[in-house]
Amino acid sequence: MARRAGTAGRADGDGRRGALRRNASDPPAPDGPATGDAEVEDGLVVTRVDDAGPQAPVLLLVHGLGSASTGWALVAPELARDHRLVLVDLPGHGGSPALDAAGAMTPPELGRRLLRLARRCADGGRAVHLLGHSLGGWVVLEAAADDGAGAGADGHRAVVASVTALAPAGLWTRPRRRPPLLPTGQQLARWAGGLPPDVLGTRLVRTLAFTATSAAPRALPPEVARDALAAVAGAPGYAAADAALAAGAFTRAADVRAPVLVVVGARDRILPPRHLRADCAPTQARWVRLERCGHVPAWDRPDDVVRLVREQVARGEEAAGGALGPAGT
C-alpha cells in the first residue's frame, strides 16, 4: 500500500504533504527536498527524501508523543542536503494507523518495529543513523539496544551507526507524571485547534498553546504551530503512547553499542534536564545542553540541531566505516 506525497512536511487538507521550509516566510527553495513516496511499512507511514543521492548516509527521524513527521519541518530541508531522510509516523500518529494489540505502543515494541525498518533501509551494506525526539528519543534508544544485543547472533549484523536523542523520554528512574487535574496535551490541542484560523495564528495564542514546549513560542512560524496542533489533536495513538511513557523507563543502556548523543534544552518544562539521569543512558553517551531551548530543540534551535546531527552522523560513519558489521567493530 502506498500513497504519493510531496516533500515530507506540512499536511494539506487532501492528505498530500507540501514542501518543508526553514521558516514560514521562506519560499520553497528550488534545490530543496524533492517529492518523495510515503508508504505504509509494518504499520508505519514512512516518507523517503533521497535528494542527497545514493552515497549519502541514511537518517531515520522519529517524532515525539502526539507529533508526526511534520514536526521536523524546520530541520528536514537542511538535513536532506547531505542525508537520505526516512521520516516515520509512529502508529496512531500522523498518517499511520493505530494499533489495537496490547502493549503495541510501548517504547520497546516501537523500537523493535523501528529496527526492522532500519534493517530494510540498510541497503548495500550501509549503516543507518537514528534521530528521535522525546518519545522518539526513547524509541531510537530501544532500537539501538536491540541492534546491539542481537549483533553477531544468528548471523545478524549491526545496522545502527549512531543515535541522536533530543530531549529523550525514558532516561529516568521514575516517570515524571502529570498532575491528575492538568489537561493532557491532546486536550489542549483540541481546544486550540477549534479556534478560528486568524486567532490561532496570533502570537498570543501561540504563546498560550506552546509555552510548555517551546522557549520562544511567539517566534514559532504559524504553519508549524498549526501543523503541531493538528497532529496532536488528531492522533488516535496518543493516549496509549502517553500511558506507556508513564509506565516504564529505558533500562537497556548496556546493550547500546553505537555512539549516542543526548541533547537537552535548558528551559525544557516537559522533561527538565535535572529529571534525566546520565546513569540511565549508555555510558558512551555525550550530553549537550542547549541554552534558550525548550522541549523541542528542532523548533527552538534548528541550526544547532542540524549541526549536532551532522557531527554525530560523521562520528558514526567513522566508527562504522560506513558499512555494517558486528556491534563494537
Q: For residue 165, is it within any domain?
A: yes
Q: For residue 28, is it within any domain?
A: no
Residues shown for the chain = 329
Kindly provide the b/e burial profile for residues 75-109, where b requires at least 16 CB atoms within 10 angstroms of the residue's own CB. bbbbbbebbbbbbbbbbbbbbbebbeeeebbbbbb
C-alpha–C-alpha distance, residues 158 and 169, integer Å = 24
- Residue 76: what residue type? A
| Residue pLDDT, tens place only, 93-124 | 999 999 988 889 999 999 999 999 999 999 77
| Residue pLDDT, tens place only, 224-263 | 998 999 999 999 999 999 999 999 999 999 999 999 999 9
| Residue pLDDT, tens place only, 126-167 | 889 999 999 999 999 999 999 999 876 666 789 999 999 999
Domain region containing 284 = 34-181+238-320
C-alpha–C-alpha distance, residues 46 and 121, integer Å = 11
CATH number, domain of 71, equals 3.40.50.1820
C-alpha–C-alpha distance, residues 228 and 214, integer Å = 12
| More confident site: 273 or 12 | 273
Q: Tell whether the model's pLDDT for residue 322 goes beyond 70.
A: no
Q: For residue 106, is it within any domain?
A: yes
Q: Tell whether the model's pLDDT for residue 288 goes beyond 60.
A: yes
**Rounded mean pLDDT, 14-30:** 34
Q: What's the grid cell of residue 304?
A: 544547532
Q: For residue 159, is it within any domain?
A: yes
- Residue 312: what residue type? Q
C-alpha–C-alpha distance, residues 84 and 7, integer Å = 13
Taking the chain, what is the end-to-end CA distance rounded to the nearest angstrom?
A: 37
pLDDT, mean over the chain = 84
Q: Which of 182, 317, 167 is nearest to 245 (CA)?
A: 167
| Residue pLDDT, tens place only, 31-82 | 334 345 789 899 899 999 999 999 999 999 999 999 999 999 999 999 999 9
Pairing, β 84-89 against β 58-62: parallel
What pTM was computed for the model? 0.86
**In the prediction, which pLDDT does 183 show?**
60
C-alpha–C-alpha distance, residues 177 and 11, integer Å = 31
Number of independent structural domains in the chain? 1
CA atoms within 13 Å, Cβ hemisphere of 154:
3
Three-point CA angle 103, 106, 111, nearest 5°: 120
| 3 state DSSP class of 11 | strand
Q: For residue 186, is it within any domain?
A: no
C-alpha–C-alpha distance, residues 136 and 139, integer Å = 5
**In the prediction, which pLDDT does 13 show?**
31
Percent of the chain scoring above 90 in pLDDT: 66
**Rounded mean pLDDT, 177-189:** 67
Q: 267 and 260 in contact (C-beta within 8 Å)?
A: no
C-alpha–C-alpha distance, residues 58 and 161, integer Å = 10
The DSSP code sequence of 196-254 is -HHHHTSHHHHHHHHTTT-S-GGGS-HHHHHHHHHHHHT-TTHHHHHHHHTT-----GG
C-alpha–C-alpha distance, residues 204 and 202, integer Å = 5
**In the prediction, which pLDDT does 145 show?**
98
